[in-house]
Amino acid sequence: MLTGDTFSSSTFAIELGKFQVETVQAVSGLTLEQDVVETRQVSATGELIVRKQPGARNTGEITITRGRDKSAAFTDWIKANLVNSDLDSARQNITIALKDAQKQTVRRIHLSNAWASRWEGPQLEASDSGPATEQVTITYEDITIE
């Protein structure tokens, strides 16, 4: 890869705990965010002093879009969260691996203690010939980028 080339956003994999999610169309909402703490004070001469500093890191959510397929492991994990309300055993660490043109992992994004907080089924329409996709919102407690 030449200097200045960027990686393709279409080559990635998602690992959920011990297994890899077989098919995924999109991942959105990957953000790393921190609160901003602002302090306003007045100096001895009456001058306003405004200082900003970093606060606590925020947790987040991502949305995974995938086609309906026969991938039982990911579907079972979603059910454990949303249908069975078994949050303790369903909480997983998720890794999103970005890959280069040779399918080698070049960056990993780790989401700690993640769980499915929302599922949206496919839009079904008799006149539509597109794929049936579902969206899963995943809430996580911490994000680490390697």
41-51: string of b/e by CB count within 10 Å (b at 16+)? eeeeeeeeeee
- Provide the residue range defining the domain that includes 115: 12-145
As for how many domains the chain has, the answer is 1
Query: Computed from CA positions of residues 77, 78, 83, 86, in that sequence, does the dihedral angle turn out positive or negative?
Result: positive
Q: Is residue 44 part of a domain?
A: yes
> What pLDDT does 63 receive?
95
> What pLDDT does 7 receive?
64
Q: Is residue 90 part of a domain?
A: yes
Q: Is residue 70 part of a domain?
A: yes
Q: Is residue 67 part of a domain?
A: yes
Q: Is residue 88 part of a domain?
A: yes
> What pLDDT does 69 receive?
66
> What pLDDT does 37 receive?
96
Q: What is the pLDDT along the chain (146 residues), one digit of tens a residue?
A: 556 666 666 788 888 877 777 778 899 998 888 999 999 999 999 999 999 999 998 889 999 998 876 677 888 888 888 888 877 778 889 999 998 888 888 899 999 999 999 999 888 888 888 888 899 999 999 999 99
The one-character DSSP state at 133 is E
Strand locations in the chain (E): 12-16, 19-20, 26-28, 34-42, 48-57, 60-67, 92-99, 105-120, 133-140, 142-145
Q: What CATH number has the domain bearing residue 130? A: 2.30.110
> What pLDDT does 23 receive?
78
